[in-house]
Chains A and B, each alone.
Chain A
Amino acid sequence: MITLVRALWGDEQIMNWPHVMRDAQWYAAKKIKAGEELGCNELIVAFGDQNFRFLVRWGLKPMGLDRNPVIGNPRRRNRKGSDTLGYLAHGHSIWRHKFLAMHYAFECGADGVIWLDWDIIWDVRQKDMLDMLGNQPAFQGRVRKFKVVGPRYGGGCLYFGSVHVLEAAINKAAFIPYADDQTIITLLANDLYFDGRNDVSADEHRHIGIDNPRLYSTKLNAVESDCKPLFTEKIIDCKLPRFAKPLRLDRMIKRSRGIGCLKR
């Protein structure tokens, strides 16, 4: 049976943690849950006690995977530095939590997993999609076009039909700690289906079925489609504010002038 997986990790040092918490609140506040309607399992994974309590408080039933809100981070020593969205504080490998949560779902007996970000919403009109996933490639997602880095798989919704494919992604993430989940997934798809070629066009991904427009629709689909997707990304919460410069402690001191404490 397919398991829908969501996870919450992070702490006050991660810039988009409040954003994710609010997305999780919105998800919890919604009455319709895809798992109940689609007849599949839903697994919610919490990293850290505080995140666990947060999810429980808002009516969800998470599984605590680790007491630490941020785990397995090779750049842990550098948590004081952060990028405009804060993820560099932990290295880009902060997104590895996503893979670990999916792996936990396989350990719990799932035959296939669909990763869903908290802002990915099930389209209630689509009810007969999950059966077809098993007959298609063991990895499916949706290619999204980025201006700078080229086409990448959107990280909001991913399907893994095999634990071995997922483990290959985890291994890849371990070797490339500074790549985000979208890059890892794209490299993985290139390795698995295109012999490691890096110049694969989005059309080729679509052609062999790993770019699946019926599974998910992102904001900027690389290859357009008229299909009604099972899941879509909703703008639930407004975007995170972009900080003008990377936040580092030495710069923070300069930035804080003007919002400093009362000078006597």
Chain B
Amino acid sequence: MVTIVRALWGDEHVANWPKALRDVQLSIAGQTKPQLEHLIFGYGQQNLNFLRNCGADAILANQSAVVDFNCCDKRDVIYRGPYGQVNYGLSMWIHKIDAMREAFKRGAEEILWLDWDVIYHHTYGGTLQQLNTGPQFQGRLRSYHRSPTVYCGACWYFRSALLVNELFDAMLTLRDFTKTDEYVATELVSRKFFNGEKASWERHRHAGLDNPELFDVRSNAVPSDCHAMFYKGAGASKTPRWRPVA
């Protein structure tokens, strides 16, 4: 049984936190939802209250709104990137991995991570059960203009707690480098499924890792005519860009 996992973290120091809050509202207010189990985690009491006020049956994952996972205490760093993430190292997205890890600890067997702006396609006719027949990780490859092609972090399917734990460890190791969760996950997938070889994106598709029926992003690396179950909605408009402040 697939469990959908979502989480809310951040505070007033994180630039895209208001956007996340609005995406939460839009997501919960949306009428069409897949009839699946959900696990919703809130980091910090305020985020938990917010989720509950919106109507979600959320679970407190951590008392802190931004968890310092490897205790390097970077919250006082005055530099910030255009989205505020460098305050905490780019690995602020590690909360996502932590929430997935927590879901497995709570008994989930298969999990589907969804960002708050990922929307269920209500006309989708298939079921999520078919994910069970594919590989342990499934996502959708997205090609960025400047960055390398990576698995879009908005929608991931995992059937292995071990793989999630490895991803978590990798995120901790790479915390000080400019690696996003998408980059780390893509590296891990290449290592696990292609022995570290840089496989073509068609091979990812062929192996079922790049699953066009699962999720549709704006810039798919390998196009497909398949009807996806989830797509990335516009949600709230983008967070404004900031000039880095030294």
Asked if A and B bind, the verdict is yes
A-to-B contact residues, CB < 8 Å: 11-13, 15, 17-19, 21-22, 25-26, 28-29, 50-51, 53-54, 57-59, 82, 236-238, 240-244, 247, 252, 255-256, 258-264
- The complex places the Cα of A243 from the Cα of B30 at a distance, in Å, of 8
Q: Are B22 and A19 in contact, CB atoms less than 8 angstroms apart?
A: yes
Contact of A18 among B22, B40, B234 (CB under 8 A): B22
Q: Are B29 and A243 in contact, CB atoms less than 8 angstroms apart?
A: yes
What are the residues of chain A within 8 A of B13 when measuring CB–CB?
Answer: 53-54, 57
B-to-A contact residues, CB < 8 Å: 3, 11-13, 15, 17-19, 21-22, 25-26, 28-31, 33, 35, 37-40, 46-47, 49-50, 52-59, 103, 106-108, 234-237, 239-242, 245
Q: Are B106 and A262 in contact, CB atoms less than 8 angstroms apart?
A: yes
* Ranked 6 nearest A-B pairs via Cβ: A18-B21, A29-B240, A241-B29, A21-B18, A54-B12, A12-B50
Shortest Cβ distance from residue A44 to the other chain B in the assembled complex, whole angstroms: 15
- The complex places the Cα of A256 from the Cα of B39 at a distance, in Å, of 11
- The complex places the Cα of A57 from the Cα of B77 at a distance, in Å, of 12
- The complex places the Cα of A54 from the Cα of B33 at a distance, in Å, of 33
Most chain A CB neighbours (cut-off 10 Å) among B25, B26, B242:
B25
Contact of A258 among B3, B17, B38, B52 (CB under 8 A): B38
Q: Are B37 and A15 in contact, CB atoms less than 8 angstroms apart?
A: no
Q: Are B35 and A258 in contact, CB atoms less than 8 angstroms apart?
A: yes
Q: Are B236 and A22 in contact, CB atoms less than 8 angstroms apart?
A: yes
Contact of A259 among B11, B25, B38, B53 (CB under 8 A): B38
- The complex places the Cα of A3 from the Cα of B118 at a distance, in Å, of 42
Q: Are B245 and A15 in contact, CB atoms less than 8 angstroms apart?
A: no
Report if A29-B38 is in contact (Cβ < 8 Å); known contacts: A22-B18, A259-B33, A261-B59: no
Contact of A25 among B35, B59, B240 (CB under 8 A): B240
Most chain B CB neighbours (cut-off 10 Å) among A11, A57, A243, A244:
A57
Contact of B107 among A25, A54, A242, A264 (CB under 8 A): A264
What are the residues of chain A within 8 A of B108 when measuring CB–CB?
Answer: 262
- The complex places the Cα of A54 from the Cα of B52 at a distance, in Å, of 23
What are the residues of chain B within 8 A of A54 when measuring CB–CB?
Answer: 12-13
What are the residues of chain B within 8 A of A258 when measuring CB–CB?
Answer: 33, 35, 38
A-B contact pairs, 25 of them (CB 8 A): A12-B50, A17-B21, A18-B19, A18-B22, A21-B17, A21-B21, A22-B236, A22-B239, A29-B240, A50-B12, A51-B12, A53-B12, A57-B12, A238-B237, A247-B54, A252-B53, A256-B55, A259-B56, A259-B57, A260-B38, A260-B57, A261-B40, A262-B37, A262-B107, A262-B108
Chain A's closest residue to B25 (CB) is A241
What are the residues of chain A within 8 A of B240 when measuring CB–CB?
Answer: 25-26, 28-29
What are the residues of chain B within 8 A of A15 when measuring CB–CB?
Answer: 25
Shortest Cβ distance from residue B27 to the other chain A in the assembled complex, whole angstroms: 9
Q: Are A236 and B25 in contact, CB atoms less than 8 angstroms apart?
A: no
What are the residues of chain A within 8 A of B57 when measuring CB–CB?
Answer: 256, 259-261
What are the residues of chain B within 8 A of A51 when measuring CB–CB?
Answer: 12
